[in-house]
Structure 1
């Protein structure tokens, strides 16, 4: 892997050399001066300011003004009647966020540490609901997981990361009601700043990265970009590495009325189970032998391994028939293959002796995903009323090949581990082929009237089906078909001083997997949200507040008349308050603050949990982060930042018999920019707090959160 790291960096520098040489070989002294100035940070910032922000462009600084995630049109965030957060590359870099979930940890409404420190998957809840299987999107198209066939996105490959809270089915079809995370891929643009980077950190972390591109043809009609990363790293868990190779080429052709962008990526991950499954005694509660060490590895070195190969190729086509009629077609093929085996803890065998029971899992799964989204945007007037009408047809086709088996492993002393114990024979858990398809027709009208008002109305009809071939039953076939209509409405009022209150209603639907011979209707979600957004007129910033009432219905629960069967009479309610603010009040200073209050309750249930709080949902979360960079003097370009994150206590199971304690974590960083170079040192969980992120509904499955992580980064830009 180290050789690969060096080769990758050399490859990136080969791109840098000709560009840098051209910058230095101007015909006269003026050109030389301009080339030198272009390497300075102020010149780069001025150049970026000349470009108007779009829903896929870089965010200038830390305050985004445009987003297309909620509406699929490039709409000002302040005029969008939904709660949304946007994290741009400047913020990702300032905090040295290693994952998409790291980037979102200072946003309200999301719990990004649902399985603790995990290098395999992105586990997250939005407004109290689990979203990891259906809530991850790339460039506005879903990457749906099934079983262990799960996609994961590279944060360095993101131009922006957007969190949309609440039901999203009118624009996207099937999804859980909490919301979605949309990763917008880095794509070519004329004035991009190239960079190469090297990074070192604790746990023997080594990483090289590059992001280069620009004009492939002098007139700018063809642009290219190549983003890549190689990571060779250990983790806070003994014997678990976190290695990755990522490369994402893209190409854009544009004329006066048409543009075509080709997007692709390849990702190869090699890691393992870093989060462990640990009992409450020894993590939350004191154990007779003290706390279980954070770095303990509960697996078996000769059996452990997680390898994922992930690829995608697609395009974004846009054509303006007239100034008021635009057709867009976005399409993608994605593939993921996961080969996974692990041993994990299943509770104490003897708490006094410190021995943990263990089981094993073996899984080999892959998924093929084809997605296409056709949109026609028409802008027209009816008298004094302006319309932006979006109509669309989208289609998704997933094919999963899934195999999983389980077994037993010898006990392990977590305080004095000795490996090499016996691994038992495996028993097939499931072995099937699953095909999922969804076809949706949708329409949305954004209606501007009376100068200050915008009314958004939308509706969608979906048809979905699932076919399963069970290889454990000689290829026995089962199928189910669902259909659903979803609606949404939103109203905003734009004041002259930047305050925009809004009211919205939205719906969701999400098919429920069959259980044995039982087929179920889709779960549904309904949300009412009232909020306000404010853009200060004297400085750059965005402040928002939202109050919401969200209900998830058709939840599967036990049939009160037959305990062997299930019925869909369950319901969960989530309601609360979210506050978020990002401001840049003076040059060099940025500050972010967020607070979430979530009151979740199981309102209908036949399993004895009615009136309880769902597990893993914190009632209160809060964060504060600020960064300041000196603008003048001998230390011009030197900056520092710090942040604090609070995660309130949460119940560890649905029966509410125990709680996971609250946690407060501190982050900090320093950075210095000089003549195109950036030097940065960042630390997360600065005090190395030992904390439990959640317990996944059981007193034997608690996960430690991320310990102190220190990263030193050097970047060169031109």
Structure 2
């Protein structure tokens, strides 16, 4: 036995019958409660950590449990309850005699039944399940130890062959984050593009490639999230998987290849949830939020979680106001071999005084951002959005270690607005022209379904994790613009703010839109993960067959045109190797898919439908688990195809390429006692190759920064109990906004600093609850900087924004 653990003594045990498991545990009420936060991991290490925390001697044969995995345990409970949770499903139980704990092997290692937690029972969930199988958190509770990998199910971060981060509800609440996009502000691989208050979607960039809201999944399902902006109150967690993931999730509606963002729906916890919050956001936004969750039944089978939010008033941006409202509900039923869940959401988002984008005429230098007005007085402009969505999921344990699952979801949305989309700057003195206002109506329906099975097969020295999935997503969309030829473009100056547009003019807005397009994404996928040497070596291989069908329709005749129907096969190979118990080396070769182009009439091959574009990623990385925090380092290359034409034949083909090479260093968890850190750095080399006629070969791709640094810190002040402070710093390097054979215009680098504080005190209205005061200031220095969004469009940063809230737990 190793001499490093005096509290743990080797003890050769005899087997006991399975029906006797747990019968030795004494009455939990006679024990002192302890606070525990032990992540899932090596069972030997978990037992040693718990024995030290509880001050108990633990006796067992260390060789017999070598290679076994202990479950995560977190919260306040008795030592016996903690041992039960760590050992659940391991084939071992325990007995207690005073300060002595003996770990005993059951006669047939099987998954344990109900596990006693806090004096009540909760039904155990198999590893192949998704419902009720939320991965545990790292110490501090801001980052989870794992997340959803689509077809592969939930995986611990050390068993994940990707760079992945999962931000928890605690992280979101402690910084008073309002949108899903802002929940990713400490991620160096992610950048927001359009500013809040514009008519565009809250677009993201991951590893230099764009991702729109339609590409954000909800519990692994695409097309369910609100179209223009997603409120953070919907999320239990926000997960980011960096890189293409066609095998894992299928093709997203927008064809994003830089990564996957997944919103995990809220669920009722074993502990009752009752939260009420009132908040203020500058300049005069007031709102409130209520969140209630309960579990019912002897074994906590039924869970209900309901939350609602409303905010309204003027924002920190001049001449702009916003109203946001949300009602969300999640219900789940967990039986011994069947689990069901349903989620519902209704969101309204209205903007008054819509912000335009900035576009530069040829030869005009990038404007001095320190002098540009943030908005212009256009009180007639507005953008109203309404989304309603629902998802139903079910799981059935077919037999030992095999689970079948299915899900179906529907999302209806409607948007209506009138605004001036952009301002074109015509000279260095700031003279500009606002585009002619448009009236627009857009509506759509997403209908998606997913069926599959996940299972584990033990074939001696090799273990197989098998998964099969079939999914389909249907989109029907209508979009029509109002006729506003009588309302001309207007003149203004972006520096003085002088506006020549007549304010009393109205914009014609349609009331409805006929069908203008349909799209269907359907696929079949299979994957096998082979592991050996107690999961020290894991190799995953699989493929997905993806079919893409789409068509556009005339708004006047309803006739179909531009019909598209193509299929692509995307394989992948992934691997994890653990040379040490706390070190993982991983690699992946995986593809992303984007819909191919229908060749236009100006080319000799007009009408040809090009096959879906396959973007390929190569990535190698290493992860180190320091128990309280995890560090990840990786290098990657993603190649995205582009179309080019042959000058001699005038044929359009897919021969162009953008190659993004980069390295990332990430850290997450409690790096020192009371100090939690989340963030890192990404260095990126985005290079264009095989461009049209070789004109831009070797140039750095536009709208991508080569250096991105983000770091969020959360610190508990040691000399003032329950007072914590946060800081988030973001740095983005200079980036080009266009391709050019001569002078290339670029926007400068920028730095932003956010600060916050929170103080908790006992809630006098309840025994266990608390009242927490939150104060957060985004962009403390009121830094001004440009965001580039492609097509020479620039978006001005948001000003200093103050948020204050009071939250009460009951």
SS in 2 for 1:170: helix
The residue correspondences of 1:311-322 to structure 2 (distance < 5 A) are 311-322=388-399
- The C-alpha deviation readout for 1:220-266, integer Å capped at 9, x for no partner, is 22211101110113223333222111011121112111111111100
* Inter-partner Cα distance in structure 1 for 2:715 and 2:776: 14
Aligned partner of 1:550 in structure 2 is: 638
1:530 aligns with 2:620: yes
Which residue in 2 is equivalent to 1:638? 723
Tell me how far apart the structure 2 counterparts of residues 522 and 102 of structure 1 sit (CA, whole Å): 31
Q: Helix, strand or coil for the counterpart of 1:107?
A: coil
1:595 to 674, 681, 684: 681
Q: Give the aligned partner of residue 662 of structure 1.
A: 749
Residue 278 of structure 1 deviates from its aligned partner by 2.5
1:151-230 to structure 2, matched below 5 A, reads 151-174=228-251, 175-217=255-297, 219-230=299-310
CA drift of 1:487 comes to: 0.9
**Structure 1 pair 605/422, CA: closer, same or farther in 2 (3 Å)?**
farther
Shifted more, 103-112 versus 236-245: the winner is: 236-245
Q: Distance in 1 between matches of 2:455 and 2:135?
A: 22
State the secondary structure of the residue aligned to 1:495.
strand
Whether the aligned pair in 2 keeps the contact of 1:59 and 1:89 (CA below 8 Å) is no
Q: Secondary structure at the residue paired with 1:233?
A: strand
Q: Distance in 2 between matches of 1:126 and 1:73?
A: 22
Paired residue for 1:326, among 393, 403, 409?
403
Contact 1:116 1:694 in 2 (8 A): no
C-alpha change, 1:619 and 1:431, in structure 2 (3 Å) is farther
Match of 1:684 among 769, 775, 778: 778
SS at match of 2:705: coil
Asked whether the 8 Å contact 1:410–1:421 carries over to 2, the reply is no
CA distance in 2: counterparts of 1:427 and 1:118, whole angstroms: 18
* Equivalent-residue separation in structure 1 for 2:649 and 2:490 (angstroms): 38
Residue 16 of structure 1 corresponds to which residue in structure 2? none
Structure 1 residue 413: deviation in Å? Answer: 4.2
8 Å Cα contact 1:237-1:274 kept in structure 2: no
2:531 is aligned to: 448
Q: 1:691 to 1:321 in 2, by over 3 A?
A: same
Q: Quote the residue 2:808 is aligned against.
A: 716
Report the alpha carbon displacement of residue 315 of structure 1 after superposing the two structures with TM.
1.2
Aligned to 1:142, the other structure's residue is in SS state coil
CA distance in 2, matches of 1:674, 1:206: 23
Provide structure 2 residue ranges, at least 5 long, that are not aligned to the other structure: 1-28, 34-73, 87-126, 602-606, 763-769
CA 1:497–1:588: 2 relative to 1, 3 Å: same
Q: Which one of 367, 371, 382 corresponds to residue 285 of structure 1?
A: 367
Instruction: Classify 1:426/1:651 alpha carbon distance in 2 versus 1 (closer, same or farther; 3 Å).
Output: farther
1:41 aligned partner: none
Corresponding position: 1:301 with 2:379: yes
Deviations 1:141-176 (A, max 9, x none): 11289xxx9353211210110111111111222233
RMSD: 3.1
Contact 2:322 2:350 survives alignment (8 Å): yes
Match of 1:460 among 541, 544, 560: 544
Equivalent residue in structure 1 for 2:790, among 691, 696, 706: 696
1:542-563: per-residue Cα shift (whole Å, max 9, x none)?
110110011012x223452477
Say whether 1:416 aligns with 2:498.
yes
Secondary structure, counterpart of 1:171 in structure 2: helix
Change (3 A) 1:398 1:524: same
Deviation at 1:618, TM superposition (A): 0.3
| TM-score normalised according to structure 2 size | 0.76
Q: Deviations over 1:389-429 (max 9, x none)?
A: 0111111111111213575333234423355258699899x
Superposition deviation, residue 593 in structure 1: 3.0
Native 8 Å contact 1:327 1:376 kept in 2 = yes
Q: Is the 8 Å Cα contact of residues 546 and 577 (structure 1) preserved in structure 2?
A: yes
Q: For each residue in 1:99-131, what CA deviation from the matched residue of structure 2 results, as whole angstroms up to 9, or x when unmatched?
A: 111111111311123557647522111111112
Residue 154 of structure 2: which of 50, 63, 74 is its match?
Answer: 74
**Structure 1 stretch displaced more, 48-57 or 202-211:** 48-57
SS at match of 1:63: coil
Does 2:578 align with 1:494? yes
CA 272–484 in structure 1, closer or farther in 2 if over 3 Å, else same:
farther
Secondary structure in 1 matching 2:725: strand
Q: CA deviation at 1:91?
A: 1.0
> Retained in 2: the 8 A contact 1:135–1:179?
no
Tell me if the contact between 1:683 and 1:711 (Cα under 8 Å) persists in the aligned partners: yes
Q: Secondary structure at the match of 1:140?
A: coil
- Greater CA drift, 331-340 or 173-182: 173-182
- Given that 2:367 and 2:428 are in contact with CA atoms closer than 8 Å, whether structure 1 keeps it comes out as no
The separation in 2 between residues aligned to 1:266 and 1:426, in whole angstroms, is 27
Matches within 5 A, 1:368-517: 368-405=445-482, 407=484, 408-414=488-494, 415-417=497-499, 419-420=501-502, 433-451=516-534, 452-472=536-556, 475-514=559-598, 516=600
Q: Would the aligned equivalents of 1:360 and 1:406 in 2 still touch at CA under 8 Å?
A: no
Quick check: 1:91 aligned with 2:188? Answer: no
Conserved in 2, the CA contact under 8 Å of 1:272 and 1:305? yes
Tell me how far apart the structure 2 counterparts of residues 567 and 678 of structure 1 sit (CA, whole Å): 59
State the Cα deviation string for residues 309-366 of structure 1 (Å, max 9, x = none). Answer: 1011111211112231111112211111111221144323676584534322222111
Output the CA distance in 2 between the equivalents of 1:695 and 1:593: 23
Q: 1:636 to 1:695 in 2, by over 3 A?
A: same
* Alignment partner of 1:583 out of 658, 664, 669: 669
* CA displacement at 1:529 relative to structure 2: 0.3
Q: Distance in 2 between matches of 1:705 and 1:172?
A: 33
CA distance, structure 1, for counterparts of residue 509 and residue 386 of structure 2: 26
After superposition, give the CA deviation of every residue in 1:490-520 in whole Å (9 maximum; x if it has no partner): 1111233411011111012111353655333
Q: Distance in 1 between matches of 2:447 and 2:515?
A: 20
Q: Distance in 2 between matches of 1:532 and 1:277?
A: 41
**Residue 649 in structure 1 maps to residue 734 in structure 2:** yes
Correspondence for 1:14: none
Asked if residue 140 in structure 1 is aligned to residue 224 in structure 2, the reply is no
Deviates more, 1:676-685 or 1:361-370: 361-370
- Gaps of at least 5 residues in structure 1 are 1-29, 35-43
Mark the CA change 1:483 to 1:380 in structure 2 (over 3 Å): closer, same or farther: same
Q: Which protein, 1 or 2, shows the higher relative CO under an 8 Å CA cutoff with sep ≥ 6?
A: 1
